[in-house]
Every structure is written in structure tokens, then in C-alpha cells.
Amino acid sequence: MKTIFTEKHKLRNAKTELYGGQLVEPFERPSRAEFIIERVRQAGLGAIVDPQDFGLDPVYKIHNTHYVDFLQVAWDHWKAENFAGEAIPTTWPARRMSDRVPEFIEGRLGYYSMAVETSISDGTWEAAYWSAQVALTGAAEVQGGEKGVFALCRPPGHHSALDMYGGYCFLNNAAIAAQSLLDNGAKRVAVVDVDFHHGNGTQDIFYERNDVLFASLHGDPSHAFPHFLGYSEEKGEGDGAGFNINYPMKPGTRFEEWRAALADALDNVRHFAPDALVISLGVDTFENDPISFFKLKSEDFLTYGADIAQLQLPTLFVMEGGYDIDEIGINTVNVLQGFTGE
């Protein structure tokens, strides 16, 4: 299996995250990708390929133009105000407030963000841009005949909505890849999100569409980020009614229950009969993950990789979360090896 990867992910190296009332080292850090790529090499998974540059047109097909334009200049505008720290929003257009876009950078950060933990720093835009190019290159490889491809995207993307960032995500790599597949010949694409956290951004993007089936397995938003989306009654609207499926699960969920939800999701994919499958691959379902509460063990990732392979669909794995640095490479590659049967 080919892996698409770029060292430019290191440009995203924020130093601060608001967690538990303190500014801490971000859980989403460069070492995540370094541990994964090292395990890819150790396992002999396959060729490691640099991304092509597809430009911004595929990004603009998913994200609001003004939002993308904001991301490109946010850090420069923040620095122009001579603020000492990284760019963190402090105010939002909450209930019954104006939806007008402010001019001052503090207000613009709040307008385009969904959460406060994700700071913007030097290099954030460049890393996010190339993360999307990694996903687009993976999609092109799948459409070129590869059975399975791993897009080692960093920063991740599934919390990024049409016009919002947060949850460590700026551009929705999986959604951008899915749209690229559609633009280049696919009639239908399924996106299955196995990250611990709900893929609220992907849901937001495709919620009124019937050419993309979205299914997400995740921690119950009553207890887990992003809290305000991901409930089972959210099934899509308009043309998208019935094409959005959520599987929220309670704290302490073990593999047997999680795997049953995956089986139902894959059965829905089978009935949808897509031309390609995109997996938002988060391995923060692991029992020792520091910001999650599922109980999957390392061997379980092998098992569900094989479950996904049974669909026999061209499949793009797009890296999302996973914050247990010691095991992140093992668990990620276990899914991929389970899929390939190696």
C-alpha cells in the first residue's frame, strides 16, 4: 500500500492548547506523524510518495471562499497587532448575536472558529494546505487503480466545516478527497469516520447531499467533543435525508460493541454501492488514548482493517486523530495491514 506523506506537516508546530483550564503542549503535535511514518517504514507497508500540488481549486469546492482566504492571512494579521502569543479566539457569535464578519483579527478568529483549543501559529496555513494535497494525491492514486492508499495527513481535517476550524482541523482533507473522487468520475462516494470524535465538519459539508454517504462512529457528544453535533437523530436534510448516519457510543465502549456499529455502517455502505470509500482514520479509540474513552486494543485495529477490506472497494485512508504517541504508529499501521491482509 502506498503512503502519501510530506515533511511539510512540521510547519504546523503550535506550542499552546487550552486544556483543563491551562495552556499546555498540544496533543496534536509533529511527533504524531513521525511515529506513524516510522512504523510505515518498519513494517515495509509500501512506497512513500510525496504529494502533488493540485492548487486551491479543489479546496474551494468544499470550503467557503472567505474562510479559506481568512486562513491564509490569519497569522499575519495577528502578528501585525503585536500580540505576543499564538492566535487563540476569545469571543464568538453566540446565540442571538450578529452574524456579521468583524474586521479586527480577534473577532474574525471567533467568527471562523468552533472551539478555543486550536491555536493558529506560524506555518499553520502551509501545513494545512499540504495536508489537503496529501489527501488529493491519495484520491488520484485510488482513481488510478490502487486498491488502497494511505494519506498521512497532518494537521487532521474532519472537524473543519464549510467555514469553521477547530478540533486541530483547518481544511477537511477527507471531504476534499471525496469531492475530488466525484469530480473525476465517481458517481457516489462513502465516507466512514472511525475517529473517536464525531466528524462534525464532514457531516456539515455533505448533510444535504445524496452523492456522499457519511457514517461516523464516535463518543457520545453528551460526553465528548465536539458536543453539539453527532447525535443519532441527525440523518441528513433535503436531498441528503437518509445519507447521514451517526453511531454515538458511551464511555467505556469496548471493541465488541464498536465493531457491531462498524458492521452496520459497512452494511449501509454496501447498500449505497459507492464507487470509492474514504476512511477518516483516527486511532484515538485506543484504550490508552489521553483524550478519549473507548477501550480498543492494538490487535482490534488489525481486525477492523480486515472488516473494511471485505467491502472490496477502492479505499483511501485519510489520517485524522490519535494521541497516544507510544502506540499511534502501531495502531495506524495495524488497520492498514489488516486491510491489505499482510
* Predicted confidence (pLDDT) at residue 194 exceeds the cutoff of 90: yes
Alpha carbon distance 166, 155 (integer Å)? 11
* Predicted confidence (pLDDT) at residue 63 exceeds the cutoff of 90: yes
Q: How far is CA 93 from the centre of its chain?
A: 25
What is the per-residue pLDDT across 232-269, written as a single tens digit (0 to 9) for each? 999 999 999 999 999 999 999 999 999 999 999 999 99
Beta bridge partner(s), residue 22: 19
Within the chain, where are the H helices?
A: 30-43, 57-60, 65-80, 105-112, 124-143, 173-183, 200-206, 255-272, 298-309, 325-340
- Band (pLDDT 50/70/90 cuts) for residue 160 is very high
Beta bridge partner(s), residue 249: 219
Residue 282, pLDDT score? 98
The sign of the dihedral angle between the CA atoms of 205, 207, 296, 4 is negative
* Predicted confidence (pLDDT) at residue 53 exceeds the cutoff of 90: yes
Residue 66, pLDDT score? 98
- Band (pLDDT 50/70/90 cuts) for residue 44 is very high
Mean pLDDT, to the nearest integer, of 197-201? 98
Mean pLDDT, to the nearest integer, of 303-331? 97
Catalytic positions are: 159
- Band (pLDDT 50/70/90 cuts) for residue 342 is confident
